[in-house]
Amino acid sequence: MFSSERGGVMPIIDDEMAAMALDAMGVGENVLTIDPPRHAEFRKVMAAPFLPKALSDGEARIKELISEIFDQLPAHGEIDLVSDLAVRIPMGVICDILKLPRQDWDDMLGWGKMAIGGTDPEYQQGGSAAETVSCGFKLMYDYSMRRSAERRGCPFSDPFIPYSPTRWLTSSR
């Protein structure tokens, strides 16, 4: 049986990675590391900016963002399809939806590569793959907590500060 809470999020390559997965990637409970029914509660709170209607409303902005990413590619020569497009486009769209400052997007991209690609020597941050994965998740988590604290109580609709009908999600969530 698949279980996110029992290490189902990331491939388990060694005992250290298995232990880290059980520790929720070192950042506590989050939408990636919990099972239903709690997963559904997290997802419901975070879903609004990713629903078809919201994405449709932002379609022109997303197309413009994708055009900007293509415009940054060299006019001649080679590109790396994965790092220049396949990774940058979805991360850019997510960062845009979450209203993150553009100057932070490369950091988020780097931390995401560490969190997902910790076994790749290109993304290693010293130590083991498990330490790299944990570091990537922790850097994203710490950034998210700082941004959340800055934006709490903002008068506008902010997808980064999800509101549950019964309570604000806490920093442990």
Question: Across the chain, which distance is largest between two alpha carbons, in Å?
Answer: 54
pLDDT digits (tens, 9 = 90+) for 132-170: 888 888 898 889 888 888 877 775 555 555 543 334 455
| Per-domain residue ranges of the chain | 46-99
Low-confidence ranges of the chain (pLDDT < 50): 1-2, 24, 163-168
Alpha helices by DSSP H, 30-123: 38-46, 52-57, 59-71, 81, 88-97, 105-116
Q: Does residue 105 contact residue 92 with C-beta atoms inside 8 Å?
A: yes
